Amino acid sequence: MRGFRAALTLLAMMLGATPLHADGRLKVVASFSILADFVRNVGGDRVDVTSLVGDNGDVHVYAPAPQDAKTIADAQLVVINGLGLEGWLPRLLQSSGSKAAVVIASKGVDPLKLGSEADPHAWQSVANAEIYVANIRDALMQADAADTDYFRQNAQRYLAELDALDREVRDDVAKIPPERRKVISTHRAFGYFEKAYGIAFIAPLGVSTETEPSARDVAAIIAQVRKDKIPAVFLENISDDRLVRRIAEETGATLGGTLFSDSLTGEKGLAPTYIAMVRHNIKALTSALGP
Amino acid sequence: MSIHDALVAPFLDFEFMRRALAAVIALSLAGAPIGVFLMLRRMSLVGDAMAHAILPGAAIGFLLSGLNLFAMTTGGLIAGFTVAILAGLVSRTTGLKEDASLATFYLASLALGVSIVSLKGSNIDLLHVLFGNILAMDDQTLLVIAANATITLIVLAVIYRPLVIESVDPLFLRTVSRAGAPAHLIFLALVVINLVNGFQALGTLLAVGLMILPAGIARFWSRDITGLICIAVVSALMSGYAGLVLSFQTRLPSGPAIILVAAGLYMASVLFGSVGGLVRQLFPGRHLEA
Amino acid sequence: MPAQITFRDVTLGYDRHPAVHHLSGEVVSGALLAVIGPNGAGKSTLFRGLVGILKPLSGTVTLAGLGVRDIAYLPQIAEIDRSFPISVFDFVGTGLWRVTGIFGGIGKGSRERIAQALASVGLTGFENRGIGTLSGGQMQRMLFARVLLQDSPLIVLDEPFNAIDAKTIDDLLALTKRWHREGRTVIAALHDMDLVRANFPDTLLLAREPVAWGATAEVLTAESLAEARRMCEAFDDSAHACAETSRQSRAA
């Protein structure tokens, strides 16, 4: 499979050789903002990255526009998350008729389960993010052989930053008393974070933004918060937060602010890059849960 | 489990249940009478139309203030009023009937809303964010619903007579008074307010459902408009209460649970209702002397 | 006698096609006027213009000293939603609009008046019946009861005796003549020539254009009636804009 894909990429490269050299930069399309951030960090100024789902967008329920098909058709490389995150993507790829190479950033990640399906939010663990970056680096090197060393250096530097970030998160979590390492959140997007760093995320709603809770579910959450003395409740930046606030009020838990999970926020927001996002999240957690 | 545990305890133990019940009461008092008039005027599908018509207003509110529920609700109200009033005016001044007129305007509004959202680029499902949940009643939302109910009841009382006459014999009203058109437009405004606030607080299913279903239920138990309104309100209250209990004891989501109870009452009414119920039709009993 | 209604070269119609074409004349206060004509002659259209529901395409209709609440209009039954859940009593009670307005309560005095009105039309005992359960004749009686309660100086009846039994017609005709005796102006669109000859002193023979207008005996002649029958019913899609700006009516 790998060999076949490499051959395909080579073929695509040869076919697309002229535009590549005419423009100078590799055209890459990422499915959403977090992946785009990774690509920028590895590709530097040798790549021209577009993100299909923009800042503050919801990648689960994105509905592609005709413009997106065109963007993909013009690209040399498409970076997707996989693990079932982008249900809308296969048809888009097909209808765009693009000859771009496709790389699944989560390849090699040990997937967790969410209900009966895979949990797609693998990037929440920084170690997984490093796997993503490695996959992206390899794909970029294949797509643009001329800049191999450039990509490798960037990736090395960025991976070092991610290592430091990982250590930072672990240190911060260590400062939280063990019995307080649990929070309520609306979005079941932190499974990987939970597994990697040991903070339990309890959610009243399902993964997507579509499901509606029963009164029994809400009562159960409230009972659990009271019983387990869960200290904090967190909101999410893309859905209605009133239910979470209600739970916080009725249980006396702290309202911890917003955690960012599925998208970056753009320049002016609190989470303009992946590293900033993770830092923001862990700071929000420690300030709500700290001793 | 005792009756008390099943029916009363959930409301004693959990504040969110008490708030949900309060919201149901307010919604029943205001929404059910409006639903009766909607049904009588053959506007039962206006709720769905309105749910889509408010999109451009919510979109503009979002563009101006981000995910601010107040801004989006206000925008939604403005869009809803515009659509309702334009549709009302067109149907009164031209030959086009109410339903066709409303359909054209809400579709235009929806298209405008989708365009605005697409141009901006963000794909957040605005309507999904805007539509709330009965289990999440905070102080502000409860206040809005309560104020809503109060205003609705007062205004309905004021326009009651012209509204009734206008529904049964509009020509007569036009010849004796100029109150017909304003009454109609005020009624439409009430519909919009109740729907938009209902969406924002409770979601589309509940907001529309507790208007229309109780009216349908009442139709099988009363031949008089006052009776219709009373039975509709009672049905709505019963559905709300039972639905919340059901959602608490099983895993049914709250909104659908309430509507399912209402639908069950409706089926029972279709079968056993004293006015036109199927059983009555099949087994009418001996005819009377005179 | 003072003129209560003045038609000045009135043309009424739909989509620029005239249904009533160049009507001029006066109705004096207290008149009892029958409007006769073949189907499509414009009788209902004329009444809609008179009552203010339809705006004239040209010309004017002037009502001396009458406001919008002073006219009692009895349209053809089709306009009423018979499936609406309202009782005969409440429906008839809306005739008291002039007295109650939007807010006024229906007190004991009003309730008695409603009961009396129902008695006058022979509908005692029907108070709690839904309006959808009435026969054609009973419906007409109910509408007459409402007109009674409206207590208006001008009463306009559009084909009030269509498709109802003879007894009902007699009763309602008696009511109509009582109104005339009370000094009210009554205008009625009718089809039954004999009834008109026997009861109505004035007649307007309308066949889109006024054919004759005046005392009944002079209007309902064989030649006038023949002329009226010659009128074409359908609108002419290829008709040009009407060149005449005013025309004298042949009637008095």
pLDDT by residue (tens digit) across C137-160?
Answer: 898 899 999 999 999 999 999 999
Contact (Cβ atoms closer than 8 angstroms) between residue C120 and residue C175? yes
Identify the band that residue A161 occupies on the pLDDT scale cut at 50, 70 and 90.
very high
Touching partners of B (3+ C-beta pairs < 8 Å): A, C
Identify the band that residue B240 occupies on the pLDDT scale cut at 50, 70 and 90.
very high
Contact (Cβ atoms closer than 8 angstroms) between residue B109 and residue B60? no
The Cα B88–Cα B98 span in angstroms is 7
Least confident segment among A142-151, A270-279, B112-121, B168-177: B112-121
Asked whether the predicted pLDDT for residue C117 surpasses 70, the reply is: yes
**Residue in B1, B16, B24, B246 to test binding to A, most A beta-carbons within 10 Å:** B16
The shortest CB-CB distance from A246 to any of B118, B136, B250 is to B136
Looking at the complex, does the CB of residue C51 fall below 8 Å from at least one CB of chain B? yes
State both tokens at B222. 């009363």
Radius of gyration of chain C (CA): 19
Query: What percentage of residues in chain A have a pLDDT greater than 70?
Result: 87
State both tokens at B247. 């959602």
Q: What element of type H or E holds A101?
A: strand A101-104
Identify the band that residue C237 occupies on the pLDDT scale cut at 50, 70 and 90.
low
State both tokens at B268. 């029972």
The mean predicted confidence, pLDDT, of chain B is 87
What pLDDT is attached to residue C148? 93
What pLDDT is attached to residue A6? 65
Which chain C residues are within 8 Å of B168, Cβ to Cβ? 80-81, 84, 86, 91, 131
Identify the band that residue B25 occupies on the pLDDT scale cut at 50, 70 and 90.
very high
User: Which residues between 128 and 157 in chain C have a beta carbon less than 8 angstroms from any beta carbon of chain B?
Assistant: 130-131, 146, 150
What's the order of all strands across the beta sheet hosting C3-14?
A: C17-28, C3-14, C58-63
Identify the band that residue A172 occupies on the pLDDT scale cut at 50, 70 and 90.
very high
Question: Alpha carbon of A132 to those of A59, A105, A260: distances in Å?
Answer: 17, 5, 19
Identify the band that residue A15 occupies on the pLDDT scale cut at 50, 70 and 90.
low
Q: Where do we find the tokens 């019983």?
A: A227
pTM of model > 0.80: no
Asked whether the predicted pLDDT for residue A291 surpasses 80, the reply is: no
- φ and ψ at residue C210, rounded to 5 degrees: -65, 125
Least confident segment among A237-241, B38-42, B89-93: A237-241
Asked whether the predicted pLDDT for residue C132 surpasses 80, the reply is: yes
Identify the band that residue B121 occupies on the pLDDT scale cut at 50, 70 and 90.
low
State both tokens at B63. 């563009």
* Span A116-140, pLDDT tens digits: 888 999 999 999 999 999 999 999 9
State both tokens at A78. 């498409």
Asked whether the predicted pLDDT for residue C249 surpasses 50, the reply is: no
Residue of chain A with shortest Cα separation from B243 = A215
- φ and ψ at residue C114, rounded to 5 degrees: -65, -45
CB atoms within 10 A of CB A95: 14
Provide the b/e sequence for B111-128 (b: ≥16 CB within 10 Å): ebbeebbeeeebbbbbbe
Tell me, what amino acid is at C246? S
What pLDDT is attached to residue A20? 47
What pLDDT is attached to residue C149? 93
What pLDDT is attached to residue B37? 94
What pLDDT is attached to residue C251? 42
Can you give the three-state secondary structure of chain C, one letter per residue? CCEEEEEEEEEEEECCEEEEEEEEEEEECCCEEEEECCCCCCHHHHHHHHHCCCCCCEEEEEECCCCHHHEEEECCHHHCCCCCCCEHHHHHHHHHHHHHCCCCCCCHHHHHHHHHHHHHCCCCCCCCCEHHHCCHHHHHHHHHHHHHHHCCCEEEEECCCCCCCHHHHHHHHHHHHHHHHCCCEEEEEECCHHHHHHHCCEEEEEECEEEEEEEHHHHCCHHHHHHHHCCCCCCCCCCCCCCCCCCCCCCC
- Comparing CA positions, the residue from B197, B176, B162 lying closest to residue B80 is B197
CB contact under 8 A, A240 and B20: no
Asked whether the predicted pLDDT for residue A2 surpasses 70, the reply is: no
Q: What element of type H or E holds A77?
A: strand A77-80
* Span C177-231, pLDDT tens digits: 999 999 999 999 998 889 999 999 999 998 888 888 889 888 888 888 888 877 7
Asked whether the predicted pLDDT for residue C12 surpasses 60, the reply is: yes
CB contact under 8 A, C79 and B164: no
The Cα B230–Cα B227 span in angstroms is 5
Looking at the complex, does the CB of residue A270 fall below 8 Å from at least one CB of chain B? no
What pLDDT is attached to residue A121? 92
What pLDDT is attached to residue A18? 46
Cβ partners under 8 Å of residue A259, min gap 6? A185, A187, A190, A234, A235, A236, A281, A284, A285
Asked whether the predicted pLDDT for residue C78 surpasses 90, the reply is: no
Query: What percentage of residues in chain B have a pLDDT greater than 90?
Result: 35
- The pLDDT of C243-252, averaged and rounded, is 49
* Beta-bridge mates of residue C87: C130
What pLDDT is attached to residue A208? 36
Q: State whether the Cα torsion B202-B204-B206-B208 is positive or negative.
A: positive
CB atoms within 10 A of CB C169: 17
Cβ partners under 8 Å of residue A42, min gap 6? A133, A136, A137, A140, A151, A154, A155, A158
- The pLDDT of B142-161, averaged and rounded, is 92
The Cα A279–Cα A265 span in angstroms is 14
A-B CB pairs within 8 A amount to 102
Q: Chains B vs C: touching, with 3+ CB pairs under 8 Å?
A: yes
- Residues belonging to chain B with any Cβ–Cβ distance to chain C shorter than 8 Å: 40, 158-159, 161-162, 164-165, 167-172, 174-179, 222-225, 227-228
* Span A24-74, pLDDT tens digits: 788 999 999 999 999 999 999 999 999 998 887 888 878 888 888 889 998
The mean predicted confidence, pLDDT, of chain A is 84
What pLDDT is attached to residue A206? 36
Asked whether the predicted pLDDT for residue C42 surpasses 90, the reply is: no
Residue of chain B with shortest Cα separation from C52 = B175
Identify the band that residue A3 occupies on the pLDDT scale cut at 50, 70 and 90.
low
Asked whether the predicted pLDDT for residue A157 surpasses 70, the reply is: yes
CB contact under 8 A, B168 and C102: no
Provide the b/e sequence for B41-53 (b: ≥16 CB within 10 Å): bebbebbebbbbb
Contact (Cβ atoms closer than 8 angstroms) between residue A112 and residue A88? no
Cβ partners under 8 Å of residue A245, min gap 6? A233, A235, A255, B136, B138
CB contact under 8 A, B168 and C81: yes
Asked whether the predicted pLDDT for residue C105 surpasses 50, the reply is: yes
CB contact under 8 A, B168 and C150: no
Query: What percentage of residues in chain A have a pLDDT greater than 90?
Result: 38
Identify the band that residue C86 occupies on the pLDDT scale cut at 50, 70 and 90.
very high
**Residue in A186, A208, A216, A222 to test binding to B, most B beta-carbons within 10 Å:** A216
What pLDDT is attached to residue B202? 77
The shortest CB-CB distance from B133 to any of A55, A63, A243 is to A243
Question: Alpha carbon of C153 to those of C7, C25, C29, C156: distances in Å?
Answer: 18, 19, 9, 10
Query: What percentage of residues in chain C have a pLDDT greater than 70?
Result: 91
What pLDDT is attached to residue A13? 60
What pLDDT is attached to residue B272? 92
What pLDDT is attached to residue B132? 76
* Span B65-116, pLDDT tens digits: 877 778 888 888 899 999 988 888 888 788 788 788 888 898 999 898 888 8
Least confident segment among A38-47, A84-93, B197-206: B197-206
What pLDDT is attached to residue C85? 92
Residue of chain C with shortest Cα separation from B165 = C94
The Cα B77–Cα A101 span in angstroms is 47
Identify the band that residue A96 occupies on the pLDDT scale cut at 50, 70 and 90.
confident
Which chain A residues are within 8 Å of B14, Cβ to Cβ? 218-219, 222, 250
Contact (Cβ atoms closer than 8 angstroms) between residue C37 and residue C206? yes
What pLDDT is attached to residue A254? 85
The Cα A82–Cα A178 span in angstroms is 33
* Strand, helix or coil for residue A275: helix
Cβ partners under 8 Å of residue B34, min gap 6? B152, B156, B187, B190, B191, B194, B211
What pLDDT is attached to residue A211? 61
Residue of chain C with shortest Cα separation from B169 = C80
* Beta-bridge mates of residue C212: C205
The shortest CB-CB distance from A212 to any of B129, B130, B253 is to B253
**Residue in B73, B118, B123, B130 to test binding to A, most A beta-carbons within 10 Å:** B123
Asked whether the predicted pLDDT for residue A22 surpasses 50, the reply is: no
Which chain B residues are within 8 Å of C102, Cβ to Cβ? 158-159, 161-162, 179
* Beta-bridge mates of residue A175: none
Looking at the complex, does the CB of residue A250 fall below 8 Å from at least one CB of chain B? yes
CB contact under 8 A, B158 and C102: yes
Asked whether the predicted pLDDT for residue C235 surpasses 80, the reply is: no
Tell me, what amino acid is at A216? R
Looking at the complex, does the CB of residue A110 fall below 8 Å from at least one CB of chain B? no
Residue of chain B with shortest Cα separation from C143 = B172
**CA B179: distance to chain centroid?**
24
- Comparing CA positions, the residue from A239, A221, A213 lying closest to residue A182 is A221
The shortest CB-CB distance from B168 to any of C51, C84, C98 is to C84
What pLDDT is attached to residue A207? 30
Q: Where do we find the tokens 């004239």?
A: C56
Q: State whether the Cα torsion A23-A24-A25-A27 is positive or negative.
A: positive
- Comparing CA positions, the residue from C226, C224, C185 lying closest to residue C205 is C224
What pLDDT is attached to residue B53? 87
- The pLDDT of A235-248, averaged and rounded, is 70
Query: What percentage of residues in chain C have a pLDDT greater than 90?
Result: 36
The shortest CB-CB distance from B124 to any of A222, A238, A249 is to A238
Residue C69 CA neighbour count, 13 Å, CB half: 14
Looking at the complex, does the CB of residue C110 fall below 8 Å from at least one CB of chain B? no
Asked whether the predicted pLDDT for residue A21 surpasses 60, the reply is: no
What pLDDT is attached to residue B124? 63
